[in-house]
Amino acid sequence: MMSLFANRDYTRLFAAQVVALLGTGLLTVGLGLLAYDLAGARAGVVLGTAYTIKMVAYVGLSPLAQALAQRLPRKAVLIGADAIRAGVALCLPFVTDLWQVYVLIFVLQAASATFTPAYQAVLPDILPDERDYTRALSLSRMAYDLENLLSPAVAGLLLAVMSYHWLFMGTFAGFVASAVLVALATIPALGRAAADRPFRERLTRGLHIYLATPRLRGLLALNFAAAAVGAFVLVNTVVLVRHGLGGGESDLAVAMAAFGAGSMAAALGLPRLLDRLPDRRVMVAGARGLMVSALLMGAVLWLEGVPGWAVFLPVWALFGGLYASVLTPSGRLLRRSAHAGDRPGVFAAQFALSHACWLVTYPLAGWAGSALGMGPALMIMGALAGGALIVVARVWPAGLPDAPQHGHPDLPPDHPHLRAHGHAPHAHPLVIDDEHRSWPSHG
């Protein structure tokens, strides 16, 4: 993996991701304390509303943002999104009412819904070799996990010597540093063909390509499987640790660190595994593991109660590793499923649809845990992961060729595609584009 850092542009973009993630982590801690200042015991309601706003912005605005941004230079879009996020962070210490928090969070998440898919779509152009790109995906997964581990620790150290309002200054600094690093990187421009399309087509093209491609329909179902079990972990771990195990705040951090450590360990091992095995096999195996382990652990919670730390922590680490094995290879599928000019739209579709999965599973995991108990709730989420696997088997069956045989009766005889591949039914690695508007269902 270290060989990736010989590429200066990738190094700068990865560093931009890391500092922005650290700033986001400080923001999360600071926002919780700000909510308590403004709402007291109702701080949980405030944070729940803020995170709902975040998901709605992600789901609703990401395709719209990329459609608007396609006619702008990609570097300018990334820097502009960072500048908006930095501006919001600068405003947060001065808010005096809850509605101001909600407005600022919406603006910040709208900027993130612009930045993240655009950043993800740039990486395949910076790293055209698939082996390098696979390792970059693993590093990105590790960066997210490290942020979850390190940001609370950094925030704790800062809070020991200063007011929580200064955490927002750390967020501001992170986004400014990210913008500077992006400005120093060389980012290839998109082709004019994508920018010249009508707005309506730019808005819907990525979603059309996504839903018309079998492997991406399968990816959506796998996203749901990962979100089902992942939502239980993120929503209900605090209840299991504090009430089931009688732990304190530091014990909660240990439990979440176990989940993150499992995810990081999987991310380290995935590049070599993906060099030998197909993406589908690895991702489906991870989702099956999530389903089985969730059903078994749910049964234990239901029948025996919360097991001791010697069992609980390894199971949470297992959840983290299986979760990463499902999500980390997704960028490879997206890269393989669209031409360079269409990748921003496809990555935006993935960003919106995957967060729509979380928009469903977050409240479901919380409601089921509260109403039915932790064991039945985890078994329900495991069953949902199993249902998602049934969908995967139908929409992305094993052995489906990437280069299906097909013909083009709709194209004129002198079309360049027919001159290149012949008029008879032919086969080549297929992506949905202007010449291939649907996936061939048979030869």
pLDDT class for 165, splitting at 50, 70, 90? confident
DSSP-derived 3-state class of residue 405? strand
Q: Who wins on pLDDT, 181 or 430?
A: 181
Mean predicted confidence (pLDDT) in 349-370: 89
Which single residue is written with the structure tokens 């395709």? Answer: 63
How is the chain split into domains, by residue range?
Answer: 7-189, 205-395
Report the share of the chain in percent with pLDDT over 90. Answer: 37
Phi, psi (deg, nearest 5) at residue 427: -135, 140
What CA–CA distance (Å, rounded) separates 329 from 334? 9
Structure tokens at 153: 């620790």
Considering the chain, what is the average pLDDT of its residues?
Answer: 86
pLDDT class for 45, splitting at 50, 70, 90? low
What CA–CA distance (Å, rounded) separates 102 from 280? 40
> What DSSP letter does each residue of 179-245 carry, written as one string?
HHHHHHS--PPPPHHHHTS-HHHHHHHHHHHHHHSHHHHHHHHHHHHHHHHHHHHHHHHHHIIIIIS
The β-bridge partners of 406 are: 426
**pLDDT on residue 184:** 94
CATH of domain 7-189: 1.20.1250.20
Mean predicted confidence (pLDDT) in 345-353: 90
pTM recorded for the entire structure: 0.86
Q: Who wins on pLDDT, 442 or 401?
A: 401
Burial of residue 195 (CB within 10 Å: 0-12, 13-18, 19+) is middle
**pLDDT on residue 193:** 61
**What confidence tens digit (pLDDT) does each residue in 226-255 have?**
999 999 998 888 888 878 888 776 777 788
DSSP-derived 3-state class of residue 90? helix
Mean predicted confidence (pLDDT) in 18-25: 88
**pLDDT on residue 195:** 57
Fold classified for 205-395: Growth Hormone; Chain: A; (1.20.1250)
What CA–CA distance (Å, rounded) separates 119 from 143? 14
CB 372 within 8 A of CB 380: yes
Same fold, 7-189 and 205-395: yes
What CA–CA distance (Å, rounded) separates 363 from 123? 33
Mean predicted confidence (pLDDT) in 59-86: 87
**pLDDT on residue 409:** 75
Tell whether the model's pLDDT for residue 215 goes beyond 90: yes
**What confidence tens digit (pLDDT) does each residue in 270-318 have?**
989 998 999 999 999 999 999 999 999 999 999 998 899 999 999 999 9
**pLDDT on residue 38:** 81
Q: Who wins on pLDDT, 72 or 112?
A: 112
Tell whether the model's pLDDT for residue 443 goes beyond 50: no
Tell whether the model's pLDDT for residue 266 goes beyond 60: yes
User: Does residue 40 come out as left (phi exceeding 0), alpha (psi in the -120 to 50 range) or beta?
Assistant: left
**What confidence tens digit (pLDDT) does each residue in 306-347 have?**
899 999 999 999 999 999 999 999 989 998 888 888 888 898
CA nearest to 12, candidates 130, 186, 174, 157: 186
Phi, psi (deg, nearest 5) at residue 406: -160, 165
Number of H helices, E strands in the chain: 16, 2
Tell whether the model's pLDDT for residue 42 goes beyond 80: no
**What confidence tens digit (pLDDT) does each residue in 169-203 have?**
999 999 999 999 999 999 887 766 655 677 677 77
Q: What sign results for the dihedral spanned by CA atoms 168, 170, 174, 179? A: positive
C-alpha distances out from residue 115 to 90, 175, 213, 334, Å: 18, 11, 25, 17
**pLDDT on residue 196:** 64
**Length of the chain, in residues:** 443
Tell whether the model's pLDDT for residue 153 goes beyond 60: yes
CA nearest to 345, candidates 142, 241, 181, 200: 200
Tell whether the model's pLDDT for residue 210 goes beyond 60: yes
Phi, psi (deg, nearest 5) at residue 426: -140, 175
